[in-house]
Structure 1
Amino acid sequence: MTRYSVMILEDDLRASYLLESTITQDSDFQVVALSESVADAMLQYAIYQPNLIFVDITLPDGSGIEFMRRLRKQGVQCDFIMTTAERESTTVEQAVHLGVSDYLVKPIRMSRVNQALNDYKHYKQQLLAHSEVNQHDIDALLGKRAQKSQRETPKGIDATTLESLKNLIKEQDLQEFSADDIGQKMNISRVTARRYLEFLEGEGQVQLVLNYQTRGRPQRLYRTVYKK
């Protein structure tokens, strides 16, 4: 099985930690380099030549867009995923022209990183599986899949349990909580509670926050998101 090497170019230490900790949970990926500047990233790329680079746009010594452009001019064939607070359409257009695989808007959600990784794996595996592709294959690779008329919960997410969790958060007016808190309240394991909270995070109903006021690794907390 192919294992993809990853470099992270990010000067925000919290965002860099979230990316690294999320990526390393997927055994198909290996983080080989961390950079906080364009100059260092150029050196790191020459050493490690990663398959995939997570790139921030605003960096201390330049732009992530310019970093990608410089590598493209060198004929580099690696893939890029943007991680940035930039939302201007012109910036997105530049990134698309440079061939980014995905564009993640800060604050970065762990579930969205996982989705980007899974999409990347699927894309690469589909290309490796076929020497030639037909229109259906190309449409699938480009995400042009038929939309389902009715949304279904993914594997591992029970609709009844999910609804119970939503009701618990609403009825007890929970503002900030951990997977342990939810596990105890619902009499389920921490791992199960975390899986459901990650699903709600992906739906934009809760937000992952990292509590650094602890010894060792930061604590994962979830904060209720109120729609305006």
Structure 2
Amino acid sequence: MSIRVVVVEDEPIAARAHASYLARLDGFEVVGAAPSCAEALRVIARQEPDLVLLDMRLPDGHGLELLHRMRAGGQFCDVIAVTSVRDVEVVRRAMAMGITHYLIKPFTFDVFQTKLENYRAYRSHLHQTGRTVPDAVAQSDVDQLFGLRSSAHGLSSTPKGISTDTLQAVTQLLASAEGGLSASEVARAVGTSRVTARRYLEHLAQTGFADRRERYGHAGRPEVEYLRHGS
């Protein structure tokens, strides 16, 4: 059975990107989308999803306000925040209100995939536990469920030699750049060697976040530059 998802996102490009990412994963089905709090409440009430991907900045209110109204209305589906909001107080309140994970934009498909697959494993085990232990769970069952749920909060696994902090810095640099950047330019901006910068850029290219292209205009061999996919 697929996990039914509603995407709440006011930026059309981002909403389509989230939906396309979900389409690449097994076990997920997008059943609705909404660009505002008001529309989200209607779509969620109608579709009764298992999971909501929730932006924090919406044109008619804050994501946490929407979450509060959902809970007050009896909607207890799981929620993953997908947002550029980095305020510590917002993160703290989101966790206190039971948000399953807080995913900061921009991110690669790899990061998205890890979080959603962790969540899917948690849902699958929860469902299986409910079938095999219908009346009362043992402590070991509860510990395993909470362990799986907590894994959705942890940092995604990255390949050997890839630091999460540096990857985030390079990702943000490409996302905000007006054009393509070479490994040398990225190295200067984030304070690494050219070889290290190229390793991170190649990782982003392999995971679908970045595109490669040749830069002409200088003597000698053309230089490879990297830009955010679709730019």
TM-score, normalised relative to structure 2? 0.63
Cα distance change on mapping 1:14 and 1:152 into 2, 3 Å:
closer
More divergent stretch after superposition (106-115 vs 4-13): 106-115
Structure 1 letter corresponding to 2:31: V
Provide the rounded CA distance (Å) in 2 between the counterparts of 1:48 and 1:198.
Answer: 40
Q: State the shift of 1:173 in Å.
A: 4.8
Q: State the shift of 1:143 in Å.
A: 3.5
1:22-65 CA distances to partner (integer Å, 9 max, x unpaired)? 00112311111111011111111121111110000111111111
Task: Provide the residue aligned with 2:49 in structure 1.
Answer: 50
Q: Does 1:208 align with 2:209?
A: yes
Q: Does 1:103 align with 2:102?
A: yes
Query: What SS is found at the alignment partner of 1:26?
Result: coil
Confirm or deny: 8 A CA contact 1:10 1:16 kept in the other structure: yes
Provide the rounded CA distance (Å) in 2 between the counterparts of 1:65 and 1:58.
Answer: 9
Structure 1 letter corresponding to 2:148: L
Answer 1 or 2: which has greater helix percent.
2
Task: Provide the residue aligned with 2:87 in structure 1.
Answer: 88
Query: What SS is found at the alignment partner of 2:106?
Result: coil
Confirm or deny: 8 A CA contact 1:175 1:223 kept in the other structure: no
Partner of residue 143 from structure 1, selected from 147, 150, 155: 150
Structure 1 letter corresponding to 2:144: D
Gaps in structure 2 of 5+ consecutive residues: 152-156, 161-181, 187-198, 212-224
Confirm or deny: 8 A CA contact 1:52 1:81 kept in the other structure: yes
Provide the rounded CA distance (Å) in 1 between the counterparts of 2:65 and 2:226.
Answer: 35
Confirm or deny: 8 A CA contact 2:7 2:53 kept in the other structure: yes
Confirm or deny: 8 A CA contact 1:7 1:52 kept in the other structure: yes
Cα distance change on mapping 1:138 and 1:78 into 2, 3 Å:
closer
Structure 2 letter corresponding to 1:99: G
Q: State the shift of 1:6 in Å.
A: 0.6
1:139-168 CA distances to partner (integer Å, 9 max, x unpaired)? 522437xxxxxx9959xxxxxxxxxxxxxx
Cα distance change on mapping 1:152 and 1:121 into 2, 3 Å:
closer
Structure 2 letter corresponding to 1:128: H
Query: What SS is found at the alignment partner of 1:143?
Result: helix
Runs of 4+ aligned structure 1 residues displaced above 3 Å come to: 151-154, 172-176, 196-199, 221-224
Cα distance change on mapping 1:125 and 1:199 into 2, 3 Å:
farther
Task: Provide the residue aligned with 1:120 in structure 2.
Answer: 119
Cα distance change on mapping 1:199 and 1:138 into 2, 3 Å:
farther
Q: State the shift of 1:108 in Å.
A: 3.1
- Structural RMSD (CA): 3.6
Task: Provide the residue aligned with 2:190 in structure 1.
Answer: none
Number of residue equivalences: 171
Cα distance change on mapping 1:86 and 1:47 into 2, 3 Å:
same
Structure 2 letter corresponding to 1:208: F
Cα distance change on mapping 1:19 and 1:197 into 2, 3 Å:
farther
Confirm or deny: 8 A CA contact 1:5 1:29 kept in the other structure: yes
1:164-206 CA distances to partner (integer Å, 9 max, x unpaired)? xxxxxxxx95989xxxxxxxxxxxxxxxxxxx9999239xx98
Structure 1 letter corresponding to 2:89: T
Query: What SS is found at the alignment partner of 1:77?
Result: coil
Q: State the shift of 1:76 in Å.
A: 1.6
Query: What SS is found at the alignment partner of 2:150?
Result: coil
Confirm or deny: 8 A CA contact 1:207 1:223 kept in the other structure: no
Alignment of 1:184-203 (within 5 A): 200-201=203-204
Provide the rounded CA distance (Å) in 2 between the counterparts of 1:43 and 1:109.
Answer: 30
TM-score, normalised relative to structure 1? 0.64
Q: Percent identity?
A: 25
Q: State the shift of 1:82 in Å.
A: 0.3
